[in-house]
Amino acid sequence: MNQTVLVSTDFSNNSLIAARYGIELAREMQKHVHIFHAYRPFISAFQSPLANEADEQRAKIEAEKGLFEFMDKLGEYPDIKIFSSIAKSGLIEGINHCIEKENVSLVVMGAHGASGTRKDLLGNNTYDVAKDLSRPLLIVPEHTNSFKLENAVFFTDYQQGDIKTLTHFNALFGDISLSCTLVHILEGKNAPKDDDLRSLEQWKASLEKQTPVKNLSTEITQAPENVEAINGILDRFKADMTLITLIDSRSFFKKLVHKSLARAIVLNPHTPVLLTSEDTE
C-alpha cells in the first residue's frame, strides 16, 4: 500500500496553504495525499430528536459543501493522487481513525484555523494532543509562500526522544537533499565552555550511530529564552523546517512550556515545525 500524507483542513486560508505545502512535500516524497475534514454537529439534550437530526444533517451538508469548495480552490495536481473525505468526529479521533485505516506517514495542518489560533489542537494541550497522534505532525505557518526544503534546524537538549525524531525525519525526508543542524541553547549569560562543546559533539556522534542520519552539523549558542532568539537562530541557518521532540521529562523544552515559549513557537511558527513524541510510531 502506498504511503499517504494526511492533510487536516478546516477550510481556512492557513489550511489551504498547508494543503499546498503538503502536496508539494508528498510529490517530493512520492506519496499520496488525503485531504481530511472532521466536523461535529450541534447536539442538545434540550432539543427534540428531530431537531438534533436536522442539525446533524445540516452540519454534514455544510461540511460536504466546504470540502467541495476547498478542493476547488486547491486546484488540480494530475501528477499526484489526491483524495478527500469528511468524518463526523472530533479532530484527533478522526485523524487517528485515518491513521488506523490508511498507511499514513505524516500529518500536516496549518498553525491557525478559521477562528484564529488552533487552540483545540495546539493551545494549552499541545503536549497531550501531540502524544495522541501516532504519526509525526507537521505544522505549516500561514506565511509560508512556497515549498522549499533545504535546511532543517533541530533544537536538542540531549534527550533519548531525539533518536526517534531523527529516525522519523530520515524516514520522511531521507531521499530529499536536506541538511540538518543540531542546535543546543545554553541558559544564562556564560559563553559555551569546552565541556559544553564536547557534550554536543558526543551527542551528535551518538545520534549518528543510532540513526540513519549522518553528517549532522552542530551549533551551541547562548541565547535568551524568547521566540525572537529562536527565530534569529532559524534565520541565521536559513532554516526551512524546525524539529522539536515532545517528551515529558525534557528540561529545556519543559521549561519553555512553563514559560509559554514552546507554545508560542508552535502557535506562531517561523518555519514549518515537525513534532514527534514518545508515542509517535
- Find the radius of gyration of the CA atoms of the chain: 20
281's CB contacts (< 8 A; 6+ apart) are 134, 135
How many domains is the chain built from? Answer: 2
- Which domain-ending residue is among 140, 162, 186? 140
Range of the domain at 271: 151-277
Mark whether 158 and 260 lie in a shared domain.
yes
Query: Which secondary structure element, helix H or strand E, spans residue 154, and what is its range?
Result: strand 151-155
Report the distance separating Cα 140 and Cα 249, nearest Å.
Answer: 26
> At residue 37, what are phi and psi to the nearest 5 degrees?
-130, 125
Mark whether 113 and 202 lie in a shared domain.
no
**145 is a domain residue:** no
Mark whether 92 and 162 lie in a shared domain.
no
23: closest CA among 13, 10, 34, 14?
34
Give the pLDDT confidence score for residue 20 in this predicted structure.
98
Mark whether 136 and 8 lie in a shared domain.
yes
- Reduced to 3 states (helix: H, G, I; strand: E, B; else coil), residue 41 is coil
Mark whether 199 and 242 lie in a shared domain.
yes
All residue ranges of the chain with pLDDT < 70 are 1, 42-45, 51-52, 113-131, 189, 247-264
Report the distance separating Cα 208 and Cα 62, nearest Å.
Answer: 49
**31 is a domain residue:** yes
Mark whether 116 and 136 lie in a shared domain.
yes
Mark whether 132 and 155 lie in a shared domain.
no
Mark whether 218 and 191 lie in a shared domain.
yes
Mark whether 126 and 185 lie in a shared domain.
no
Give the pLDDT confidence score for residue 118 in this predicted structure.
52
Report the distance separating Cα 224 and Cα 98, nearest Å.
Answer: 40
Which pLDDT tens digit goes with each residue over 151-204? Answer: 999 999 898 889 999 999 999 998 888 899 999 988 776 788 899 999 999 999
**66 is a domain residue:** yes
CATH of the domain at 110: 3.40.50.620
Q: Count the neighbouring beta carbons within 10 Å of the beta carbon of residue 75.
A: 8
Which pLDDT tens digit goes with each residue over 229-238? Answer: 899 999 999 9
